[in-house]
Amino acid sequence: MIKLGVNIDHVATLRQARYADMIDSPNCEPDVLSAASACERAGAHGITVHLRADRRHIQDRDVFRLRASIMTKLNLEMGNTPEILETALRVVPDEVCLVPENRQEITTEGGLHVAKHFKALKQTVDRLHSAGIRVSMFIEPEADQIEASAASGADAVELHTGAFANVLADFKEDELDRLDASARLAKEKGLVVNAGHGINYDNVHMLKKIAHWNEFNIGHSIVSRAVFVGLEQAVRQMLERLKG
């Protein structure tokens, strides 16, 4: 079965909307640690958080608390900046996923250009590996990015599924073909193949047609459904989609 990593950034977004300047308040809610525990009880295989440079949702203390408490994998998404890298080396998550980051974006808008920034990314991969941290590259499903990721020494790639999720129905098969070819190439290069961005309860069955997936990282859709059914039930429902 494809593994499920649950991104809980949006839980922190809700907290920050009210308690951005009062994170130590006894009234501060919702708690990201409680959210992570609910996901794990429901059967999630890992917890994903993105520590952004502007700290718009997840805070440093969240990452340290999660590292000390969760029982499954901690996947830290981060931009390739010196400050965040130093934090990652202190936290020592199980895995780091390197992503592009634009302060003006609402969410990550595309894949990392590994080929263009190869030298800097290779140095970061080496430093993370020296701390025993696995490294994934969040990339577009393109051959040059896959090849650059493999050459950098990355352990995995997370293919950006945003184009597939947002394209009109008539063109989804074209995007699936592109993802399929990329997943095959990544596997041939010895990379673990994950996917993320825009995956939801309605489109996940189409992605499952592709072989070689290891893990889907899903956040917004699960947290959105949790508003109506609760977080544990929302995670269980997604796991059922992955099994079915």
Residue 136 banded pLDDT, cuts 50, 70, 90: very high
Percent of the chain's residues with pLDDT above 90: 89
50 as an active site residue: the answer is: yes
**Residue among 10, 50, 57, 160 flagged as catalytic:** 50
State percent of the chain over pLDDT 70.
96
Is the pLDDT score of 100 beyond 90? yes
**Phi-psi sector, 233: left (phi>0), alpha (psi -120 to 50), beta:** alpha
Q: What are the φ/ψ torsions at residue 74 (nearest 5 degrees)?
A: -105, 120
pLDDT of residue 171: 84
For the question of whether the overall pTM of this predicted structure is more than 0.85, the answer is yes
One-letter amino acid at 229 equals V
- The predicted model gives 119-130 an average pLDDT of 98
Q: Is 117 among the residues known to form the active site?
A: no
Which is the catalytic residue, given 40, 77, 95, 175?
77
- Cβ(45)–Cβ(3) below 8 Å: yes
Q: How far apart are the C-alpha atoms of 232 and 43, rounded to whole Å?
A: 9
**pLDDT at res. 215:** 98
Could you say which of 10, 45, 160, 197 is catalytic?
Answer: 197
Length of the chain: 244
Task: Look at residue 45 in the predicted model and tell me its pLDDT.
Answer: 98
pLDDT at 108: 58
Q: In terms of CATH architecture, what is 3-243?
A: Alpha-Beta Barrel (3.20)
- Reported as a single tens digit per residue, the pLDDT across 166-222 is 998 888 999 999 999 999 999 999 999 999 999 999 999 999 999 999 999 999 999
205 catalytic? Reply is no
Mean pLDDT of the chain: 95
**Where do the structural domains in the chain lie, given as residue ranges?**
3-243
